[in-house]
Amino acid sequence: MLVKTIAVGPLEANCHIIGDEKNGKAMVIDPGGGVERIMDIIRENGLTVEYIICTHGHFDHIGAVADLKAKTGASVLIHRDDLEIYNSAANLALCFGLTVKTQPAPDRFIADGDTITTGGLSFGVIHSPGHSPGGISLYGEGTVLTGDTLFAGSIGRTDLPGGDGGLIGKSLGRLMKLPADTVVLCGHGPSSTIGREKRENPFSHLFG
């Protein structure tokens, strides 16, 4: 499995490019900006992007969806419960003094328990609300992509529209049931493991 992570956009959200090295099929998770940097990685590794997956609809994670879809023709996937946030992302961006273009309508909604396959790689969808109503994590191949639900040494904020402190605790609890050696690829900041977060995350008391 090829994994490339770059921080994109003014809030430096992590964009993850996940590819099957055998056949070049790939998916891009959270293209919040920097479409040319993303495309450079795609070209350099001979990848064909099948899916653009948004772990949630906040502007810093979707800012380059339209541009990336135009360049790759990939299908855009998001949880239905974040559609309103996705569609109104420009309004939240204005609160940060930023602008973001209108993004294309999702091609498909994904839900808890779905499986997303690209090449020989398979990832299960874990609905993990709390940071936003339709936040998701993707688990497979010994890795979990947690969006803004879980960070290395922290958790996602719940004070933005649609946030829920009670729900994020339940979502974190589900993630903590994954194997301890599962690599955590976060929406911001460095990677971690589930075991490390169980031991060291100062918010571990919320992992209900």
| CATH label of the domain that carries residue 69 | 3.60.15.10
Residue 158 confidence class, pLDDT cut points 50, 70, 90: very high
- Domain range enclosing 16: 2-206
**pLDDT the model gives residue 95:** 86
Model confidence pLDDT, tens digit, residues 70-115: 999 999 999 999 999 999 998 889 988 998 988 999 999 999 999 9
pLDDT at 145 > cutoff 90: yes
Edge-first strand order for the sheet with 115-118 is 115-118, 121-127, 136-140, 143-147, 183-186, 192-193
Can you tell me the distance from the alpha carbon of 167 to that of 178, in angstroms, rounded to the nearest whole number?
18
Burial of 106 (C-beta count, 10 Å sphere; 0-12/13-18/19+): buried
Nearest to 136 by CA among 34, 29, 60: 29
Token duo for residue 103: 């993004």
Q: Which residues contact 73 (CB under 8 A, 6 or more apart)?
A: none
Domains of the chain: total: 1
Token duo for residue 33: 């900006």
Can you tell me the distance from the alpha carbon of 27 to that of 16, in angstroms, rounded to the nearest whole number?
8
Q: Which residue has the tokens 């639900």?
A: 149
Residue 208 confidence class, pLDDT cut points 50, 70, 90: confident
**pLDDT the model gives residue 51:** 98
